[in-house]
Amino acid sequence: AKKNLSDNHEYYAKSIESQTTWRLDMIRQLRSDFINRKLQLWYQPQVDLVSEKVVGMEGLLRWPDGEGGYISPAVFIPLAEYSGLIVDIGQWVLEESCRKLKELKEAGYDNLRVAVNISIPQFRDRHFVEKVKNALIASDCDPSLLELEITESVVMDEPQIVIDALTTLKEYGVGIAIDDFGTGFSSMSYLQKLPLDRLKVDRSFVKDIQPGKSAVLAETIVTLGNKLGLLTIAEGVEKREQASYMIKLGCVEAQGYLYAKPMPFEALMSYLHDHSTT
Ligand code: C2E
Ligand code: CA
Ligand code: CA
Ligand code: CA
């Protein structure tokens, strides 16, 4: 039934009323699948650009459509945000990531970090900071191995609330990354007020890198990140020449299909085994 819902999206999109019906059906299904533990967290390796050793991973949600495929996060994350479901789903993502950090440590990978995406409604939850700390305590994880990824739109929603929450978490040891950097409309002044560790150069700028051409925006963003004392990581690296260009710009890390696609945890474990980080 879910597959139908997504297939018929265009048909449903004909009227506002049927769009609303489609949305409500999707949200109802998402809630039920979440409660029934059908959501999965997959992991995409992040590597050091020069050595290509794995340094961490990003957790990415996957929603099985019941027929062997997956509904894109680009479709269901906005619905989860709109409905408020993202608060509980995001909490599960945090807890699951901390459990995996523990499993990684037990398997001997005690210095790999896990990054998770945080949405606006999670920051509006007054207990957010406490919940993050509790997830770390419950699984006995080193806070510095957990990284929170926030986009510019998260910051712009409630700048002071977000800055305060992140400052507290940073003092606790948690890492903070600004995601999709350059695609939003944040005020540059917030960049310095945020306790950032890492700047993620959006895939669209990495895509601009073509043989024999200069990629002005990618270069400007890496330079800005470096000047602010942040580590920079290139997103969506698919080609060798993109990786070597980013190295020349002074970018430190990368994530992208050139290295690996997002994969279930068990697959990640064999990937780590095959790409030994020691
Ligand atoms: P994002 O945070 O920017 O995540 C990176 C996206 O780029 C992922 O898409 C990943 O699969 C994709 N990607 C990575 N490398 C490459 C590459 O080399 N080429 C191409 N074409 N794509 C690449 P995905 O998994 O579909 O997730 C889409 C978005 O959904 C994420 O974008 C993030 O905004 C959101 N999302 C996913 N999981 C969560 C979550 O747990 N919580 C929240 N709030 N949002 C999430
Ligand atoms: Ca992200
Ligand atoms: Ca991103
Ligand atoms: Ca994105």
Q: Ligand 3 centre from 50 Cα, in Å?
A: 21
Ligand at minimal distance from the CA of 60 is 1
Give average pLDDT by consecutive 10-residue segment, the chain, 278 residues.
Answer: 54 70 95 98 98 97 97 97 97 98 97 98 97 97 97 92 97 97 81 94 93 88 95 98 96 98 98 80
CA dihedral sign, ordered 208, 260, 232, 57: positive
Q: What is the pLDDT of residue 10?
A: 58
Distance in angstroms (rounded) separating the CA atoms of residues 216 and 53:
27
Residue 212: CB atoms within 10 A of its CB come to 5
Ligand 1 pocket, 232 CB below 6 A? Answer: no
Bridge partners for 48 per DSSP: 253
Residue whose CB lies within 8 A of the most ligand 1 atoms, among 60, 119, 258, for a mutation test: 60
Q: What is the 3-state secondary structure (H, E, C) of 21-68?
A: HHHHHHHHHHHHHHHCCCCEEEEEEEEECCCCCEEEEEEEEEEECCCC
Closest Cα partner for 271 from 40, 41, 43?
Answer: 43
pTM confidence score: 0.94
Residue whose CB lies within 8 A of the most ligand 1 atoms, among 57, 76, 77, for a mutation test: 77
Q: What is the pLDDT of residue 15?
A: 75
Ligand 1 pocket, 60 CB below 6 A? Answer: yes
Q: What is the pLDDT of residue 55?
A: 97
Strands 175-181, 146-151: pairing kind:
parallel
Q: Which two tokens stand for residue 227?
A: 């000047």
Q: What is the pLDDT of residue 14?
A: 62
For residue 237, the ligand 1 atom closest to its alpha carbon is 18
Ligand 1 pocket, 119 CB below 6 A? Answer: yes
Q: What is the pLDDT of residue 6?
A: 54
Ligand 1 pocket, 73 CB below 6 A? Answer: yes
Q: Three-state DSSP class for 184?
A: coil
Q: Ligand 3 centre from 198 Cα, in Å?
A: 12
Q: Ligand 4 centre from 81 Cα, in Å?
A: 15
CA atoms within 13 A on the CB side of 132: 28
Using alpha carbons, list the distances in angstroms from residue 150 to 34, 160, 226.
23, 14, 19
Ligand 1 pocket, 95 CB below 6 A? Answer: no
Q: What is the pLDDT of residue 1?
A: 46
Q: Ligand 4 centre from 106 Cα, in Å?
A: 31
For residue 41, the ligand 1 atom closest to its alpha carbon is 41
